[in-house]
């Protein structure tokens, strides 16, 4: 008896140790990446880096303000296109799960989720860049929106399904129409989760590089017109890192640091958004 | 009394989910301003019957029905029945308290605001009146804008009753409203039913025989989807005409 209990306790401790170790291994890359970026990039961060556009080749100084503005604009326009579609499709799929339409959307979203982002970029090139006749931030937004829709849709669907049926019945029994119930009660209850899902999708697409390469293209200048070629942080990292100059490499590290800080900031917002005021039914 | 129209009338009502028959040949009437209790063993179709009255069963895709249910003499199954209107007329309180994850005030105000009952200005008065009628006002008047999820189970259930009353329904359906509550909360709800009877017709499903005997004017005993016996509560509990009814209320089965 005593012996078997000791063995059990020992096994338990061993397993806890193994699990803890895998957690450490899992988060180690994050700290390695952050550490490297801070070591190599933080030195180049100053006010000018955020406020100025690139200096001519050969001169030091300059910044990536154009890429920061570009990323914000491209992502914002992508959200305008992608979020409403993704959220609406997700709510529909969860609220009317058995219909042919929702089964079709679910299948298509899974296929799109598995599509390499560069293929989505090619698609945006064919449909926007080729027709417009030139590269543009808008084309980049279209590509990012296409990546975003299936992600947002699937997370929305999962979260809407978590809303207890009792709440739907309560609303319907109070004389709410079906769509009002879905929007004012079900979606409202799932809202903190929906915000989280959306912000995570934004964080995901903000770092996408491949679909922007032949859509937004990149630019050396500050641009706020989305119909024109634009820079974005991932493009700046790519351009500077593959360039021949020492000064550019320095800018690449700093841009990468800014990009990852931006994504971390979004994740932090996500955590704050999940603290709902009224709690959930769980 | 030839033009006497009951609040609820079931005429040979039957219901199936797909190929399984849930309710068969249910016929009875509930006069306006009375409380009808529905008793019977689990799975006998009591709740299904209740959910047919406000057509909440429509959510189940394979539902089919025959016979008829009439509220104030009007069939709820007419092709032009507006479900929103029907559910405004027929309120419902569920087995488990299911307040919305909103403030106490919002829970009560939600129905009337959406359905544009009364003006926006009168809303606080209406909310207060409904909370008072549900015997909850004194407990929550200082925290109307706090989350309803912070209330106790009994308070939540009374909030759900207040929420249903805010729509000013004619008929109130209660599906085992006390089954998740302790005896004290149960007693409060029973007192409430007694008071509400002045203004509403109430149909209450309950597993608690004493409760049925205490609060109701008439009682129906359901078994296996059939209405075995229906009559004045006193008669059902003292001199039932059917053996099955007597066996059930004396606790010999179920």
Structural domain includes residue A45 = no
Which residues of chain A does B164 touch, with a Cβ-Cβ cutoff of 8 Å? 173-174
Structural domain includes residue A258 = yes
Determine whether A39 is exposed, middle or buried from the number of CB atoms within 10 Å of its CB (0-12, 13-18, 19+).
Answer: exposed
Q: pTM here?
A: 0.80
pLDDT in tens for each of the 282 residues of chain A? 567 888 999 999 999 999 999 999 999 998 999 999 999 888 888 888 888 888 777 777 778 888 999 999 999 999 999 999 999 999 999 998 888 999 999 999 999 999 999 999 999 999 989 888 889 999 999 999 999 999 999 999 999 999 998 999 999 999 888 888 998 889 988 988 898 889 989 988 998 888 998 888 888 888 888 888 888 899 999 988 998 888 888 889 999 999 999 888 888 887 787 665 444 443
The nearest CA of chain A is from the CA of B208 a distance in Å of 22
Contact B185, B169 (CB under 8 A): no
Sort strands B171-175 and B201-205 into parallel, antiparallel or unpaired: parallel
Distance CA A250, CA A42 (A): 10
* Whether B84 and A177 lie within 8 Å, measured CB to CB: yes
- Examine the domain organization and report whether A95 and A9 are in the same domain: no
Structural domain includes residue A40 = no
Q: For chain B, which domains are there?
A: 8-249 (3.40.50.300)
Instruction: Using a CB–CB cutoff of 8 Å, tell me whether A172 touches chain B.
Output: yes
CB nearest A173 (choices: B54, B110, B115) = B54
- Examine the domain organization and report whether A190 and A115 are in the same domain: yes
- Examine the domain organization and report whether A138 and A272 are in the same domain: yes
Shortest CA distance from B86: residue in chain A: A175
Structural domain includes residue A43 = no
Residue A280 has what pLDDT? 45
| CB pairs < 8 Å spanning A and B | 72
Distance CA B254, CA B88 (A): 34
- Examine the domain organization and report whether A20 and A146 are in the same domain: no
- Provide the number of structural domains found in chain A: 2
CA max distance for chain B? 56
Structural domain includes residue A22 = yes
Instruction: Using a CB–CB cutoff of 8 Å, tell me whether A184 touches chain B.
Output: yes
The three-point CA angle B74-B76-B79 to 5° equals 100
Residue A192 has what pLDDT? 85
Instruction: Using a CB–CB cutoff of 8 Å, tell me whether B213 touches chain A.
Output: no
- Examine the domain organization and report whether A60 and A138 are in the same domain: yes
- Examine the domain organization and report whether A58 and A166 are in the same domain: yes
Residue A154 has what pLDDT? 94
Contact B191, B178 (CB under 8 A): no
Q: How far is CA B213 from the centre of its chain?
A: 16
* Whether A175 and B84 lie within 8 Å, measured CB to CB: yes
Residue B8 has what pLDDT? 92
- CA proximity to B161, closest of B124, B182, B125, B192: B192
User: Residue A136 sits in which domain range?
Assistant: 50-281
Instruction: Using a CB–CB cutoff of 8 Å, tell me whether B82 touches chain A.
Output: no
- Examine the domain organization and report whether A190 and A218 are in the same domain: yes
* Whether A180 and B114 lie within 8 Å, measured CB to CB: yes
Distance CA B85, CA A175 (A): 7
pLDDT along chain B (254 residues), means of 10: 76 91 92 92 90 89 90 90 90 92 92 73 88 89 92 91 91 90 85 86 91 92 92 91 88 68
Structural domain includes residue A112 = yes
- Examine the domain organization and report whether A62 and A20 are in the same domain: no
- Examine the domain organization and report whether A222 and A162 are in the same domain: yes
Contact A91, A187 (CB under 8 A): yes
Structural domain includes residue A44 = no
Residue B208 has what pLDDT? 86
The three-point CA angle A179-A184-A187 to 5° equals 90
Instruction: Using a CB–CB cutoff of 8 Å, tell me whether B205 touches chain A.
Output: no
Residue B1 has what pLDDT? 42
Sort strands B226-232 and B35-39 into parallel, antiparallel or unpaired: unpaired
Structural domain includes residue A225 = yes
- Examine the domain organization and report whether A10 and A113 are in the same domain: no
Residue A219 has what pLDDT? 82
Instruction: Using a CB–CB cutoff of 8 Å, tell me whether B92 touches chain A.
Output: yes
- Examine the domain organization and report whether A7 and A116 are in the same domain: no
Instruction: Using a CB–CB cutoff of 8 Å, tell me whether A114 touches chain B.
Output: no
The nearest CA of chain B is from the CA of A175 a distance in Å of 4
* ipTM exceeding 0.90, yes/no: no
- Examine the domain organization and report whether A16 and A115 are in the same domain: no
CATH code of the domain containing A136:
1.10.3720.10
């Amino acid at each position: 008896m005593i012996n078997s209990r000791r063995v059990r306790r020992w096994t338990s401790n061993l397993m806890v140790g193994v699990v803890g170790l895998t957690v450490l291994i899992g988060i180690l890359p994050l700290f390695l990446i952050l550490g490297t970026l801070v070591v190599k990039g933080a030195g180049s961060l100053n006010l000018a880096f955020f406020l100025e556009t690139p200096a001519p080749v050969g001169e030091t100084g300059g910044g990536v303000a154009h890429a920061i503005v570009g990323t914000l604009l491209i992502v914002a326009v992508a959200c305008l296109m992608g979020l409403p579609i993704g959220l609406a499709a997700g709510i529909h799929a969860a609220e009317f799960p058995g219909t042919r339409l929702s089964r079709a959307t679910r299948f298509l979203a899974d296929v799109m989720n598995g599509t390499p982002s560069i293929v989505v970029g090619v698609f945006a090139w064919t449909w926007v860049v080729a027709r417009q006749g030139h590269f543009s931030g808008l084309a980049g937004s279209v590509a990012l929106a296409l990546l975003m829709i299936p992600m947002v849709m699937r997370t929305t669907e999962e979260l809407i399904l978590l809303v207890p049926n009792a709440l739907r019945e309560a609303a319907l029994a109070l004389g709410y129409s079906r769509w009002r119930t879905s929007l004012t009660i079900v979606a409202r209850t799932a809202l903190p989760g929906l915000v989280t899902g959306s912000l995570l999708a934004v964080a995901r697409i903000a770092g996408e590089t491949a679909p922007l390469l032949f859509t937004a293209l990149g630019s050396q200048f500050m641009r706020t017109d989305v119909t024109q070629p634009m820079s974005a942080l991932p493009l700046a990292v790519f351009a500077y890192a593959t360039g021949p100059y020492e000064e550019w490499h320095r800018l690449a590290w700093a841009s990468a640091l800014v990009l990852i800080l931006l994504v971390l900031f979004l994740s932090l917002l996500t955590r704050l958004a999940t603290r709902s005021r009224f709690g959930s039914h769980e | 009394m030839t033009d006497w129209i009951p609040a609820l009338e079931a005429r040979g009502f039957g219901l199936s989910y797909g190929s399984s028959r849930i309710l068969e040949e249910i016929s009875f009437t509930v006069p306006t301003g009375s409380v009808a209790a529905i008793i019977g063993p689990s799975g006998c179709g009591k709740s299904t019957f209740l959910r047919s009255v406000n057509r909440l069963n429509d959510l189940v895709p394979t539902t089919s029905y025959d016979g008829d249910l009439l509220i104030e003499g009007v069939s709820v199954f007419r092709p032009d029945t507006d479900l929103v209107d029907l559910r405004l007329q027929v309120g419902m309180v569920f087995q488990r308290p299911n307040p919305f994850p909103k403030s106490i005030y919002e829970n009560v105000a939600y129905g009337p605001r959406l359905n544009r009952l009364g003006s926006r200005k009168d809303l606080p008065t209406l909310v207060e009146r409904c909370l008072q009628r549900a015997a909850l006002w004194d407990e929550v008047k200082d925290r109307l804008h706090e989350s309803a999820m912070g209330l106790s189970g009994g308070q939540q259930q009374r909030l759900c009753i207040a929420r249903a009353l805010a729509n000013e329904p004619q008929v109130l359906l209660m599906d085992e409203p006390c089954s998740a509550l302790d005896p004290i909360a149960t007693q409060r709800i029973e007192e409430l039913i007694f008071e509400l009877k002045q203004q509403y017709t109430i149909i209450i499903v309950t597993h608690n025989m004493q409760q049925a005997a205490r609060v109701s004017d008439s009682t129906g005993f359901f078994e296996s989807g059939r209405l075995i016996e229906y009559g004045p509560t006193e008669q059902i509990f003292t001199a039932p005409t059917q053996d099955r009814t007597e066996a059930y209320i004396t606790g010999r089965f179920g």
